[in-house]
Amino acid sequence: MSERESKSRRGNCFEDFAVGQVLTHATPRTVTAGDVALYTGLYGPRFAVQSSDAFARAIGYPRAPVDDLLVFHVVFGKSVPDISLNAVANLGYAECRFLRPVYPGDTLSAISEVIGLRESSSRTSGIVYVRTAGRNQCGEAVLDYVRWVMVRKRHPQSPAPAPVVPKPAERVDASMLGAAVPGIDVGRYDLALAGAPHRWGDYDVGERIDHIDGMTLEEAEHQIATRLYQNTAKVHFNQLEQAQGQFKRRLVYGGVVISLARALSFNGLANAFHIAAINGGRHVAPCFAGDTVYAWSEVLEKAELPERRDVGALRARLVAAKNRNCADFPLRNAAGEYADGVILDLDLWLVLPR
């Protein structure tokens, strides 16, 4: 290979990772009001705190913060060229904490550490476990999470490292939540403007909520969304290459499904204005352009936050399904396997006013 050819990169394969390896990701990204507007146009989130500077200021924010999932996707996107450019699929998340609010004008950067490796049984790929941290321009942590991704091997017969499989916590402890929410004036939290009368105390453990509405994904939309995050994973863009693969078409980035499900959850969880943590999540099945996404939630747990009387936390399972509504709350079948159509199973901590 000539020096001229070596200037371009093909991305890391499974063989290129080692436990303990630290990767500093390019490129720092300043989040702008334009990014927020495009995000809104792609998914239609309606949570009042992120939608209105006036509403946010009234309860104690300096201005409307950036949607939590936009922050997540931007930080995630930074990691893709180094970790998952050659991914087969992103498999799951754990221990994700939103640590500080982000506002338009803030600049985000990311760094990851490889915390585990395991070759797949096919020997054509392996699972890479990483912990990624996102920081703002002041070096302050805004986001921290673990994810695992299946990455192609360069050579199927190349030797695999000894497997190291981390065991993330089942849930983020409630005592670690709430740092990204300033003290709010609940007396000035206008329930009518927010869109629903239900506060933290109005939800019960075990309650299930059908979010009713569905949204159909378009080819151009999911690619624009993924470009917005500077996520360069080939499976989302290169139809010429993907036509030779298992599905014969481009995969929708799993984060698109997460954002759609979150936006749909407004109908039933309108006052759950902040995602404090993602305890865990699985992309159960692939999603493609033309699929229609529905969602439902179940309240798993309620928690008071330390020294906070203004807000409380709900632990909720957010499930997304494609091409079927969620009136019957689809999750698993009689055999314990995920039901047909289920594409996302996400465990969240949500913050609501008390």
**DSSP line for 296-338:** EEEEEEEEEPTT-SSEEEEEEEEEEEESS--TT---B-TTSSB
- CATH number, domain of 186, equals 3.10.129.10
The pLDDT of residue 242: 79
Of 321, 283, 262, the closest CA to residue 87 belongs to: 283
- By percentage, how much of the chain surpasses pLDDT 70? 99
Q: Record the pTM.
A: 0.93
| SS3 of residue 96 by DSSP | strand
Q: Are strands 342-353 and 311-322 parallel, antiparallel or unpaired?
A: antiparallel
Question: How many distinct structural domains can be found in the chain?
Answer: 1
Please give the Cα distance from 335 to 314 (Å, whole number): 29
| Chain centroid to CA 25 | 18
pLDDT band at 29 (very low <50, low <70, confident <90, very high): very high
Please give the Cα distance from 137 to 29 (Å, whole number): 10
Does position 8 have pLDDT exceeding 90, yes or no? no
Span 18-35, mean pLDDT? 97
Residue 3 counted as domain residue: no
pLDDT, tens digit, 9 for 90 and up, residues 266-317: 999 999 999 999 999 999 999 999 999 999 999 999 999 999 999 999 999 9
Residues forming a β-bridge with 96: 278
Q: Look up the domain containing 16 and give its range.
A: 9-160+168-353
Residue 13 counted as domain residue: yes
Residue 324 counted as domain residue: yes
Residue 286 counted as domain residue: yes
Q: Between the ranges 9-18, 83-92, 340-349, where is the mean pLDDT highest?
A: 340-349
Q: Find out whether 313 and 350 touch, Cβ atoms under 8 Å.
A: yes
DSSP 157: T
Residue 211 counted as domain residue: yes
Cα 288 to Cα 95, 211, 221, 273, distances in angstroms: 28, 21, 11, 28
Residue 314 counted as domain residue: yes
Taking all residues of the chain, what is their mean pLDDT, rounded to a whole number? 94
pLDDT, tens digit, 9 for 90 and up, residues 202-259: 999 999 999 999 999 999 899 998 899 988 777 787 778 877 888 888 889 889 999 9
| SS3 of residue 92 by DSSP | strand
The pLDDT of residue 240: 83
Span 8-21, mean pLDDT? 93
Please give the Cα distance from 167 to 22 (Å, whole number): 19
Q: What are phi and psi of 183, to 5 degrees?
A: -60, 125
The pLDDT of residue 3: 54
Residue 303 counted as domain residue: yes
Of 286, 279, 235, 300, the closest CA to residue 257 belongs to: 286
**Which H or E run includes 13?**
none
pLDDT band at 4 (very low <50, low <70, confident <90, very high): low
Does position 5 have pLDDT exceeding 70, yes or no? no
Question: Left, alpha or beta for 54 (phi > 0: left; psi -120 to 50: alpha)?
Answer: alpha
Residue 190 counted as domain residue: yes
For 349, the token pair is 């901590």
The pLDDT of residue 1: 47
Please give the Cα distance from 213 to 261 (Å, whole number): 10
Does position 349 have pLDDT exceeding 50, yes or no? yes
